[in-house]
Structure 1
């Protein structure tokens, strides 16, 4: 197995999607296969440099670039889906409607009436679902909170409500990020083997 593929597989977190352990070596396999073909073309004594360059470009266009691009598109979509799912869980918490709006308005008014230190301490440590829903269901200033305090309260509420799904999402995000990094390294290796500069290679990959 390509040493770079081994390195990236070793960086995948426990529980990663099993197909990534095949995708990463496949990406570097594309590079290894092209490397052999390109070197054979350039070693052909019957070809001029211009002819060899044209043959290498043809070999590059015939599959390697498209193959890596398809792999990247698949991984990008799966990463975006994981990020989207995180947003869905956050919205469920921030848009919860378990208590009447009038009660939540009363809670926000009460919070604003508290001394700032007491208000911040209460919001940061509360386990009261009414207080959490009142605070998170409206802009931070309606509860008399700084944006950063409100954001930390939102993060804590989401984590408390969905700790296991969030852990799964975090694992997927890390897995797909590692796969994307591997694909980028494979694409860089492919470009170097092709002899094209970055600008010309990106045109081929577009």
Structure 2
């Protein structure tokens, strides 16, 4: 009997340590909505490009600037939705939204993401945009893997998938757009749905 109590105490201590070192209130539904935003944005961008006079993008073109605006809106909507739904979930769980665990999560997520974002801007300023989709997938995937140490570990699998898709896009530039759609759109919906039923509904 004492042995069982001892094991139970160890298990409870382990759970408390895990909760204190990891931010576990990420919302699966926010992932689903981020994927939907990405698909809608991609559809609008595809329509704009295909119905333009050239039928393709140029860096100083009006359509290119519109596509950048759409991309920015998708990112803003995804971040805002993630913050709102995660805050709501954290309050429901009685967990602080901004503590040491969430700070570590944000810092470790932003370091690869901002580095990648700056690198992509540098490449674009050099007039090269053929690898943009690949770079976005790779750096976003690295950010997820890096942040997974301080959150739900399962997000690293989404990160690994995005890295693989990014590498495929780098070797097959003509398919970068569609691989971007799979990585940021479809995989977010699949991952978010899985996380919602695994964690949010419990």
After TM superposition, the score normalised by the length of structure 2 is 0.28
Please say which structure displays the higher CA radius of gyration.
1
